[in-house]
Amino acid sequence: MAAQERPEVREAHAGDVEAIVALAEERRAAYRPHAPGFWDPAPDARDRHRARVARLAADPRALVLAARRGPRLSGCLMAVLGPSAEVYAPGGPLAYVEDFWVADPGDWWGSGAALIEAARPRLAALGAVRMVVESGGHDAAKRAFLWRSGLSLAAEWYHAPLR
């Protein structure tokens, strides 16, 4: 990938919601063939996600970041704080990164890195002691980026239909 200018990363606002929803929808659609049934969208998924992104962007206890190169959204990161399972003691709240996407799958070291760098101190300031980031098992580029960014694999999920 040719060198690109570093994206601007800022906390998302209402004007970013549609672009974030569209990017997440596009990336989830790419995940769907790798885990049918798990990544299948609800009939009203876009409306639900739009409402959630807007709500979290306005919530001072959550973090929604937008990375942009000019007018174009190049990535997003959305995190909420929550407790760990009762049998673990990480030392405080965890930051669950629910949505972390880049528009170009080859841009993890550009937009992805800028988003993670911006998220770490903000999440710590919110009180989180650890960041937990979701990635599809098939997403080698994202997984490699996360590993090389200092995150370690903590668990894997396997799924199967029951009916």
pLDDT confidence of residue 1: 46
Q: How far is CA 93 from CA 36, 80, 83, 131, 150, in A?
A: 32, 10, 5, 9, 19
Convert the pLDDT of each residue in 10-53 to its tens digit: 999 999 999 999 999 999 988 888 988 888 888 999 999 999 99
Q: Where are the domains of the chain?
A: 8-148
Tell me the torsion sign for CA atoms 138, 152, 117, 50: positive
* pLDDT exceeds cutoff 50 at 103: yes
Q: Which residue has the higher pLDDT, 62 or 84?
A: 62
**pTM confidence score:** 0.92
Structure tokens at 2: 């040719």
Q: Name the DSSP class of 69.
A: E
Report the topology of domain 8-148. Answer: Aminopeptidase (3.40.630)
Burial class (CB in 10 A: 0-12, 13-18, 19+), 45: middle
